[in-house]
Amino acid sequence: MTLYSRRNILATSAAGGLVAAAAATGASADAYSPAAMSDPGPHDPAQEAINPYDWQSLPTDHGNLGTLRHSFSQVHNRHTDAGWAREVTVRNFPISKAMAGVNMRLPVGAVRELHWHVPAEWAYVTYGVGRITAVDSGARRFVADVKEGDLWFFPGGVPHSIQGLGPDGCEFILVFNDGNFSEDSTFLITDWFNHTPKDVLAKNFNLPASAFDNTPKKDLWIFNAPVPGSLADDLAQSKQPDVPNPYKFSLLDQKPVFSSQGGRVRIADSNNFKATTMAAALVEVEPGGLRELHWHPTSDEWQYYISGTARMGVFHGEGRNNTVEFHPSDIGYVPQSIGHYVQNIGKDTLRFLEVFTSPEYADISLASWMANVPHELVAAHLNIDVPTLQRLAQSKTPVVPI
């Protein structure tokens, strides 16, 4: 699939592309003269189509908030003969200071080798089936199978692994609570063995030094291994107790905390997923629906777009407001307490993740704020009559009914 078809470019000529961008913003192409909409010099229609609002913004946009969108489809992919991973960090997405993201693919049998890292790891399975393992600081074990729609959370410093199961392995999104973190900088078990004298290994494990003659001389990172047997067999190998709070959570199996004709919201945070210190929501918005005007008071928001086409408006104050378009594999980022909305502008259901570094999910609705202070006060600000304000919902409506 070409970039042109992915971004739904309506025309590849300069003039046609500009008319399409104007139409996408809701502005009339007639409002701009042909000269004002032309770009006779060197330009790249494919790049311009990635976010048409950069070239022709909405009339309500003003100022420059920097880059609010990146995409896993635009970053370097580190391949091995067993699988691959690609990452978006603050190095290529400067606004993403609090969180970094990784997209990883493990075919059946492929293993993300035993490792740990300083930041916590939040994950969502976008495809297939895998097996995850971990051991906590009390030597308590955790082994579980995960499927599409499940997530896991490993606290910082907890060693773990991931392996693809049949029939076709798995793919998933990882989010770390440190925008500087790179998947390439994890602490790998093979790397530590390779850099520790054999006599120290022998003494530590009470084994002969010859036991370590064949350990790898280079880290494995992602490698092929035999497909594991049953989950019960893997669990039976350890007699240690299970971790007190499982590191797995089946988000897609949860009943939505909010549902309307416009869409649904499912939340996983420390209230229902006891192991996590990072909150998240899976948001579904039907065509024509809107994730209401709101902001998050306790954390930046890292977004991952799974399906559909979205338009996000971001209000930063100081009269600044920018609009961004998103497609599957795109990442969005909204700093803490910055107002925004997300609108489904496509023909299919929009699905995206909201991830936060705070343990509890929190948002503030513009509409419910206005409805829960004296109507006369709001009327004095906005020149909206009181009877109209009385019609506003006092409770939050995360996805506005269509």
Better-predicted residue by pLDDT, 319 or 329: 329
Rounded to whole angstroms, the Cα distance separating 395 from 372 reads: 9
Task: Let me know if 48 is a catalytic residue.
Answer: no
Rounded to whole angstroms, the Cα distance separating 242 from 141 reads: 5
Tell me, yes or no, whether 231 lies in a domain: yes
Do residues 260 and 234 both lie within one domain?
Answer: no
Do residues 105 and 149 both lie within one domain?
Answer: yes
Last residue of a domain, one of 249, 264, 288: 249
Rounded to whole angstroms, the Cα distance separating 361 from 297 reads: 10
Percent of the chain at pLDDT above 90?
A: 85
Rounded to whole angstroms, the Cα distance separating 199 from 184 reads: 28
As to burial, measured by CB atoms within 10 angstroms (0-12 exposed, 13-18 middle, 19+ buried), residue 224 is: middle
Do residues 25 and 113 both lie within one domain?
Answer: no
pTM of the entire predicted model: 0.91
For residue 25, what pLDDT band results from cuts at 50, 70 and 90?
Answer: very low
Tell me, yes or no, whether 270 lies in a domain: yes
**Number of compact structural domains in the chain:** 3
Do residues 17 and 87 both lie within one domain?
Answer: no
Average pLDDT rounded to a whole number, residues 343-348: 97
Rounded to whole angstroms, the Cα distance separating 136 from 143 reads: 12
**Please, what's the b/e burial string for 62-87 (b: 16 or more CB within 10 A of its CB; e: otherwise)?**
eeebebbbbbbebbeebeeebbbbbb
Selection from 388, 144, 107, 116 nearest residue 250 by Cα: 144
Do residues 142 and 182 both lie within one domain?
Answer: yes
Do residues 34 and 81 both lie within one domain?
Answer: no
Do residues 276 and 373 both lie within one domain?
Answer: yes
Tell me, yes or no, whether 365 lies in a domain: yes
According to DSSP, the residues that pair with 242 across neighbouring strands are 141
Do residues 266 and 328 both lie within one domain?
Answer: yes
Q: Per mean pLDDT, which range of 16-20, 54-58, 95-99, 215-219 is the poorest?
A: 16-20
Per the structure, the complete domain to which residue 35 belongs is given by 3-59
Do residues 91 and 105 both lie within one domain?
Answer: yes
Residue 1 has pLDDT above 70, yes or no: no
Residue 300 has pLDDT above 60, yes or no: yes
Question: Distance between alpha carbon 398 and the CA centroid of its chain, in Å?
Answer: 18
Last residue of a domain, one of 249, 275, 302: 249
Catalytic member of 183, 292, 354, 376: 354
Residue 307 has pLDDT above 70, yes or no: yes
Question: Cα dist. 26→50, 89, 235, 324, 339 in Å?
Answer: 17, 33, 57, 14, 21
The model's pLDDT over 281-292, given as tens digits with 9 standing for 90+, comes to 999 999 999 999
Do residues 113 and 29 both lie within one domain?
Answer: no
Do residues 90 and 208 both lie within one domain?
Answer: yes
Q: What's 184's domain CATH number? A: 2.60.120.10
In this structure, the number of other CB atoms found within 10 A of the CB of residue 321 comes to 19
Do residues 133 and 183 both lie within one domain?
Answer: yes
For residue 163, what pLDDT band results from cuts at 50, 70 and 90?
Answer: very high
Tell me, yes or no, whether 64 lies in a domain: no
Tell me, yes or no, whether 87 lies in a domain: yes
Tell me, yes or no, whether 278 lies in a domain: yes
Residue 305 has pLDDT above 70, yes or no: yes
pLDDT of amino acid 54: 87
Tell me, yes or no, whether 36 lies in a domain: yes
Rounded to whole angstroms, the Cα distance separating 273 from 238 reads: 24
pLDDT of amino acid 13: 33
Residue 14 has pLDDT above 70, yes or no: no
Tell me, yes or no, whether 86 lies in a domain: yes
Look up residue 191 and give its two tokens.
Answer: 């790397």
pLDDT of amino acid 39: 86
Last residue of a domain, one of 59, 81, 106: 59
Which residues fall within 8 angstroms of residue 259, CB to CB, at 6 or more apart? 265
